[in-house]
């Protein structure tokens, strides 16, 4: 029998992919505590990703990034006001899904008697374990971060469940994207295949000329509309692909919010990219993806589920998690256009209803 909680606070502040990986915990909490008030503390710039989620009652916006950059008396008062507001809510349970010092400060000073978190050795910053007094069993042996997050609920009597994301978009965002896409795709009725070259840091980048060659092949072989998507910092990479292409393409409309991005990705047939936040949004939306991994390990934080395919060509230095490469980015350059095209063919054929029988683990991960 589960312990009873009327008010639950989740602390997962960032980043976009990490928040997406934490959604199954929210869905599981709602399933097991259907009447509880569930709140989520999150960085303000990611808050609209959680808007309209059917399992969430409250979003508590946090601005730790701003506070750390400009630590002033005013910042202190803002931070203390946040803590005071959380304490006044009188939550029964707080769950630190982050395992960082910044999340531990919110957890530890929340005034909540029951504070659930990872074992010290399983925290990304071990010192953060000071803030929790209920520990999950050791999760170091669990490869994928989604399964690790789900295991955090075991002390509550909530054991392994099929992960769900249940992401929704607001009507206003969907209407905006429909209006923007109509002239962009020029009357196309077939869902587009999107290519997204933007990444968080350079070691995750696949060469633009390969994206362009892949897009040309896809258009010729499948007669699929090609949509080049981009985020606030990487429009130039999308435009760079377009300049190198020989076949028709469309540049995606600007997405001024994460709700706009979600509404855009819902319109896709397939999403092709590196290890980037939009990949995990598409996974949460159940949009098929083909992605390229090199410095990060897909076994830990790759797309979750059978409709996704990861291409990785392991090198001696693979999975280094470095933001700058001391050599020549061999792990990313090892993935050729033909490798990606084979994976794209497989995904598009499966999406069209072909049988999944006969696929091996090597097929799924492109090893």
Report d(CA 289, CA 65) in Å as an integer.
31
Report all structural domains of the chain as residue ranges with CATH numbers, in order of start.
Answer: 7-156 (3.40.50.2000), 171-365 (3.40.50.2000)
Question: Residue 311's closest CA among 338, 282, 351?
Answer: 338
pLDDT, tens only, 191-235? 999 999 999 889 999 999 999 999 999 999 999 999 999 998 899
SS3 state of residue 100: coil
Rounded CA-CA distance 298/108 in Å is 32
Percent of the chain with pLDDT over 70: 96
pTM: 0.91
- Radius of gyration, alpha carbons of the chain: 21
pLDDT value, residue 1: 60
Look at residue 72 in the predicted model and tell me its pLDDT: 84
CA neighbours within 13 Å on the CB side: how many for 271?
Answer: 32
CA distances from 193 to 219, 223, 306 (A): 9, 10, 19
Residue 161: what pLDDT? 86
Which residue's entry shows tokens 């590196």? 274
Per-residue pLDDT, 356: 39
Which positions of the chain have pLDDT values less than 70?
1, 353-367
């Amino acid at each position: 029998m589960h312990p009873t909680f009327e008010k639950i606070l989740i602390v997962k502040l960032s980043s976009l992919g990490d928040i997406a990986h934490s959604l199954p915990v929210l869905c599981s909490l709602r399933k097991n505590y259907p009447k509880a008030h569930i709140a989520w503390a999150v960085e303000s710039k990611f808050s609209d990703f959680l808007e309209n989620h059917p399992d969430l009652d409250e979003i508590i916006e946090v601005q730790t990034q701003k506070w750390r950059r400009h630590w002033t008396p005013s910042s202190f008062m803002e931070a203390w006001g946040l803590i005071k507001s959380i304490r006044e809510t009188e939550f029964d349970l707080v769950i630190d899904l982050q395992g960082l010092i910044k999340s531990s400060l919110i957890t530890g000073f929340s005034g909540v008697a029951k504070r659930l978190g990872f074992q010290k050795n399983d925290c990304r910053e071990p010192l953060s374990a000071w803030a929790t007094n209920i520990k999950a069993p050791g999760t170091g042996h669990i490869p994928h971060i989604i399964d690790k997050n789900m295991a955090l609920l075991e002390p509550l009597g909530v054991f392994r469940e099929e992960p769900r994301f249940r992401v929704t978009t607001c009507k206003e965002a969907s209407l905006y994207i429909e209006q923007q896409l109509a002239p962009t795709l020029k009357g196309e009725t077939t869902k587009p295949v999107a290519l997204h070259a933007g990444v968080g840091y350079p070691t995750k980048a696949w060469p633009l000329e390969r994206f362009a060659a892949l897009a040309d092949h896809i258009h010729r072989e499948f007669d699929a509309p090609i949509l080049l998507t981009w985020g606030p910092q990487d429009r130039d990479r999308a435009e760079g692909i377009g300049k190198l292409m020989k076949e028709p393409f469309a540049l995606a409309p600007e997405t001024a919010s994460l709700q706009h991005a979600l509404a855009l990705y819902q319109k896709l047939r397939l999403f092709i990219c590196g290890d980037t936040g939009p990949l995990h949004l598409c996974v949460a939306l159940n949009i098929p993806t083909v992605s390229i991994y090199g410095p990060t390990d897909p076994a830990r934080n790759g797309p979750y589920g059978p409709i996704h395919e990861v291409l990785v060509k392991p090198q001696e230095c693979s999975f280094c998690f470095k933001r700058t490469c001391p050599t020549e980015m061999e792990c990313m350059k090892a993935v050729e256009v033909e490798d990606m095209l084979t994976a794209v063919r497989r995904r598009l054929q499966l999406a069209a209803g072909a049988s999944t029988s006969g696929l091996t683990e090597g097929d799924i991960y492109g090893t």
